[in-house]
Structure 1
Amino acid sequence: MIRKENAMGMTYRTARAIAFASLALAAISAAHAEPASFPVITHHEGVFNGEAVRYRALVEETVIPNADGNPAFSFVTTAYIGEDAGERSARPVVFLFNGGPTVPASWLHMGAFGPRRILPPARPADPVNDPGAMADNPHTVLDVADLVFIDPPGTGFSRILDETSTPEIQSVPGDARAASDFVIAWLQAHDRMDAPVFLIGESYGTIRAAAMTGLLHEQVNLEGVVLFGQALNMVETTQRARNALSYATNLSALAAIAAYHGQADMDGLTLEAFIDEAEAFAMHEYLLALVAGNTLDDDEARLIADRLERYTGISAAYYLANRLVISKPDFRRELLRDEGLILGVYDARYAGPAPEPGNPPSDPFGAVAAMVPVALQTHQREFLGLNRPFEEYSFRGPSSAGWDWGRTGGMTGGPFADYQHDIWIEQAMDANPRFRLMVGTGIYDTTTTIGPARYLAAQAGYPRERITLREYEGGHMAYTNEEALIAFTRDVRSFLTAH
């Protein structure tokens, strides 16, 4: 047998050995667990995309060993598996995870792809009167795929079993390796190694998904990855001082937000056309002006500032006083300052009272975010039949302040010095002609914005036709807007069934 090794140094033989060891350890763990702990299996029926589906919900524990074969990580995951799926080998298995990097998959679970979901108010201006409001979710993709929600160790009920393994998992490669080991173990335990496999990651989870792609594309039948709120090109997403490109790529998001709040001059354009026009200006005249810096003459600076005022609602005088730039945090403070309001970080459709001087701001989106823990607790108890104390469920794992961002393109120094996380996507594209990428972004998100996502696709080292690029009318978790949820799940369904 030829011994293959991929970019992260994980061999096929090693992966299989780890997976088999994991299964054995999981069996031992289950044998010594408290009665009625894991697994917990319940059976359900639902209608998804107009199709009646019988499925089972499975909450189970999988233990992953370290290199010495000792238990290192416990993954407690929730899966929804179709029971009338016909040929199981042809039915996709989708593994989903959020970001943080140390948060559980609760948002994707209770906001977008679980069989039940939170029910936020239809309009961002409306209050959250019922924090526990939930509804059936007919939009999820259970009609075409099985879903496995991954809570990384240290989050949810998942745990780090060996404290000496903590530094390893608090890194891009270590986190991805543990999650990839889990994927292989789960597929083997459920006799699904031949199934098409897809990953859906959100926020930091998009970096995890890219790194897992580098590990898994030669080990399993990995056919595609969905990046939602992508963070792969972090230099363009965040705004480092004097990084002209980052201010240009983010301008289209500011224009969309200003348009939503009635502060932009759209000149009769549709929202989509207005965003496209703002981006074209940003990546041409505006970028050239920023690069010119203090060599730009006053008349040219005034013309650029006037255009910026039209697109963003921030006065030309502000731009002229600030080297033609505004940061995203300053934009959230400035746009509705005259009304005493500040915009949300994760969803700038939401506005709330600006804090008093010296006080930290509270995110106006916070009331919607608070719905997720309430809904998940009810869902675990009443729908999944889980009797584990909810106080043990961690919505925030160990601090990520010391997170090791590792090496990707050969440089060191953290994500801002070395950010080519899409190199692993490129490897999968080269190795598998069926492999595809979908990138989705909320146009009112100020954390992972639409411009850098477009730039990522434009700069990709693989054919553009293998990338599905989508934008939704919402924020970082755009699916809290039901219209965006319908569009997002429709696009994911098409992505899963395209072959």
Structure 2
Amino acid sequence: MYPWRGGIAALALLAATFAPVSVRAEADKQEAGETASEIRPSVAERRVDTRHSVTADGRKIAYTATAGTLTLRDGEGHPKASMFYVAYVADRAKGEPERPVTFFYNGGPGSSSIWLHMASFAPVRVPVGIDVKPGTALRLAPNPETLLGQTDMVFLDAVSTGYSDVFDPKDGKAYWGHDSDSASFTQAIRRYLEINGRWQSPKYLFGESYGTTRSAITSLMLHKAGVELDGIVLMSSILNFAQQAPGLDRMAINQVPTYAASAWYHGKVDRSLSLPDHVEKARRFAEGAYTQALAKGHDLPDAERDAVAAQMAVLTGLPVDYLVQSQLRVMPSRFRKELLRGEGKVLGVLDTRFTGYEGDGAASGASSDPAGDAISGPIISSFLTYIREDLKYRTDQPYHVSSPKNLLGIWDWSHIPPDGEKQNSLADVALDLAEAMRRNPAMRVLSLSGYYDLSTPFFATEYDLSHMLLPKDLRGNLTENFYDSGHMIYLDPCSLKRVHDDVSAFLKDRPEN
């Protein structure tokens, strides 16, 4: 299936990279014959506090790390699920203003937030990067790029991931869908604010990948629940599933600038232009001659097809004949296989700068992700040691790096947008984000995208954000930044520094400041 045809398939690229992984925190205590699914969290909320410090932004910051759970209840007050979180709260002198609090989560759907937690802005970080090879031993270290100097941070794991789970296995499906997932995060955020007395704190959401879908819906839900957000950070967004409707070419168009950036990085195109200039040239081609050619379908004249293929070849490094044979439509898995086929290498999905090898050199498309292979082991092993030894959180539950169930096939993709008319699987949640911005004119949005991301291409995000139909007075509340990085922008140390500075400035740029 073409990743740019069908909303589920686009996310399947990312989900396949991190297949369901469960790890027991205390396997030595597991009783004979006991299965992971039989071990459920406690209805009572847990909380384990430990004290730490980190040097960042030129100063030493003392903080409390809290690993704990939040109990989620149904409309009648019955406990139904437990959401696991790790919070980092810096010391605040008496009389100082309330510090901001930012809620972080990855996406999937079906992914825990281990990736953001262990590789981006927490006080500790696994030093992954584009030069790290699979199997490299990496150790958790203090993170000078932590955002703790600007905001307290809460990392949340979605129900059925991490240590978050339902109390009754039959209730799991109640949390597997666009709206039900966002409702659980809305409830968890309100619960955290309540038990920690943070109602007056400036509040932010930080979602990555499907986490941006969640943020868009949750922002409006929070507003309706009386929680006004100061801002939202969207990293590597997927907002409009309607772009991926079968029979439409928008997803093919969206990929072209990412193909161009990837070819530039690997030296398969003329590099006399800078990366941003080369990408801009690809943008103009994708929206112009390429879009016009695809719109003609099989009525496209051969001469025009050949001319467009020639332009596309110059931008993407793919052979003209290959583009013609592909009818100008190249799926990401084929691009990843084709660009470096002569070298026997494939590109990553999450980050096309990563390369690797596969057994079948003649296959039409790539079947693995070298980017995911390089980072998974160090991050997972570091987290499981950290949560037990440093944060002192002990449990017999398995830690689900990703949901033990393949949620893509059973996820409820329908959505009730702001107008109240239920949408099918091709929901456009950018409409929820736009409505939240209109209802809360002080709320700002920062969009972060990587040039080398084939999972959620930056050109699609640009399109979605420009079609929210914001009034002119609110367009200044939306900022879009682009980085020489991939889906997980923070994997690249240079981009990590830049995105840290950009997010720090965003957090500091509150009206009261």
TM-score band by shorter chain is: 0.7 to 0.9
2:227 is aligned with 1:224: no
How far 1:191 sits from its partner (Å)?
Answer: 0.7
Q: For 2:367 and 2:285, how far apart are their aligned partners in 1?
A: 32
CA contact (8 A) 2:43 2:79 kept: no
Q: For 2:95 and 2:161, how far apart are their aligned partners in 1?
A: 34
Q: For 1:85 and 1:259, how far apart are their aligned partners in 2?
A: 50
Q: Secondary structure at the match of 2:233?
A: strand
Alignment TM-score, normalising by the size of structure 2: 0.85
Q: For 1:265 and 1:128, how far apart are their aligned partners in 2?
A: 31
Q: Please show how residues 248-397 of structure 1 align to structure 2 within 5 Å.
A: 248-266=253-271, 268-356=272-360, 361-365=367-371, 366-389=373-396, 392-397=398-403
Q: Which amino acid aligns with 1:55?
A: Y
Q: For 1:443 and 1:225, how far apart are their aligned partners in 2?
A: 21
Q: Which has the higher contact order (CA 8 A, sep 6+)?
A: 2
Deviations 1:322-359 (A, max 9, x none): 21221111101111111111111111111111332689
2:438 aligns with 430
Q: Which amino acid aligns with 1:488?
A: V
Aligned length, in residue pairs: 459
Of all paired residues, the percent bearing the same amino acid is 29
How far 1:414 sits from its partner (Å)?
Answer: 4.0
CA contact (8 A) 2:337 2:366 kept: no
Q: Which amino acid aligns with 2:359?
A: P
2:130 is aligned with 1:115: no
1:35 aligns with none
Choose which of 37, 44, 63 in structure 2 pairs with 1:29.
44
2:98 is aligned with 1:90: yes
CA contact (8 A) 2:88 2:154 kept: yes
Choose which of 456, 481, 491 in structure 2 pairs with 1:448.
456
How far 1:307 sits from its partner (Å)?
Answer: 0.7
2:134 is aligned with 1:153: no
Deviations 1:219-272 (A, max 9, x none): 113111111110102344x5x654222212221000001111111223x11101
Range with greater deviation from structure 2 (97-106 or 79-88): 79-88
Q: For 1:203 and 1:426, how far apart are their aligned partners in 2?
A: 18
2:3 aligns with none
How far 1:440 sits from its partner (Å)?
Answer: 1.0
Q: For 1:131 and 1:241, how far apart are their aligned partners in 2?
A: 43
Deviations 1:406-453 (A, max 9, x none): 2244666743xx321012211211111211111111211111011101
Q: Which amino acid aligns with 2:227?
A: V
Deviations 1:164-196 (A, max 9, x none): 432220111111111111111110111111111
How far 1:360 sits from its partner (Å)?
Answer: 7.8
How far 1:91 sits from its partner (Å)?
Answer: 1.5
How far 1:51 sits from its partner (Å)?
Answer: 2.9
Q: For 1:296 and 1:130, how far apart are their aligned partners in 2?
A: 50
1:482 aligns with 493
Q: For 1:413 and 1:84, how far apart are their aligned partners in 2?
A: 45
How far 1:399 sits from its partner (Å)?
Answer: 2.7
Q: For 1:382 and 1:27, how far apart are their aligned partners in 2?
A: 21
Choose which of 40, 45, 48 in structure 2 pairs with 1:40.
48
Q: Secondary structure at the match of 2:370?
A: coil
Q: Secondary structure at the match of 2:438?
A: helix
Q: 1:252 to 1:80 in 2, by over 3 A?
A: same
How far 1:28 sits from its partner (Å)?
Answer: 7.2
Q: Secondary structure at the match of 1:370?
A: helix
Choose which of 67, 70, 76 in structure 2 pairs with 1:68.
76
Structure 1 spans left out of the alignment, 5+ residues: 1-25, 31-37
Q: 1:83 to 1:427 in 2, by over 3 A?
A: same
Q: For 2:204 and 2:253, how far apart are their aligned partners in 1?
A: 32
Q: For 1:211 and 1:202, how far apart are their aligned partners in 2?
A: 14
1:138 aligns with 144
Q: For 1:420 and 1:90, how far apart are their aligned partners in 2?
A: 35
1:175 aligns with 181
How far 1:85 sits from its partner (Å)?
Answer: 5.6
Q: Secondary structure at the match of 1:384?
A: coil
1:198 aligns with 204
Q: Which amino acid aligns with 1:43?
A: R
Q: Which amino acid aligns with 2:290?
A: Y
Q: For 2:423 and 2:437, how far apart are their aligned partners in 1?
A: 27
Q: For 1:495 and 1:480, how far apart are their aligned partners in 2?
A: 20
CA contact (8 A) 2:209 2:237 kept: yes
CA contact (8 A) 1:85 1:91 kept: no
Q: For 1:154 and 1:330, how far apart are their aligned partners in 2?
A: 33
2:217 aligns with 211
Range with greater deviation from structure 2 (253-262 or 486-495): 486-495
2:66 aligns with 58
Deviations 1:36-93 (A, max 9, x none): xx31111111112223211100111211111232110111210000113665663111
2:131 is aligned with 1:102: no
Structure 2 spans left out of the alignment, 5+ residues: 1-40
Q: For 1:468 and 1:320, how far apart are their aligned partners in 2?
A: 37
Q: Which amino acid aligns with 2:487?
A: H
CA contact (8 A) 1:441 1:470 kept: yes
1:5 aligns with none
1:11 aligns with none
Q: For 1:355 and 1:464, how far apart are their aligned partners in 2?
A: 49
CA contact (8 A) 1:404 1:414 kept: no
Q: Which amino acid aligns with 1:472?
A: Y
CA contact (8 A) 2:450 2:458 kept: yes
Q: For 2:378 and 2:329, how far apart are their aligned partners in 1?
A: 36
Q: For 1:480 and 1:384, how far apart are their aligned partners in 2?
A: 24
Q: For 2:456 and 2:391, how far apart are their aligned partners in 1?
A: 33
Q: For 2:199 and 2:206, how far apart are their aligned partners in 1?
A: 18
1:473 aligns with 484
Q: For 2:183 and 2:125, how far apart are their aligned partners in 1?
A: 30
Q: Secondary structure at the match of 2:128?
A: coil
Q: For 2:164 and 2:96, how far apart are their aligned partners in 1?
A: 28
CA contact (8 A) 1:54 1:84 kept: no
2:36 aligns with none
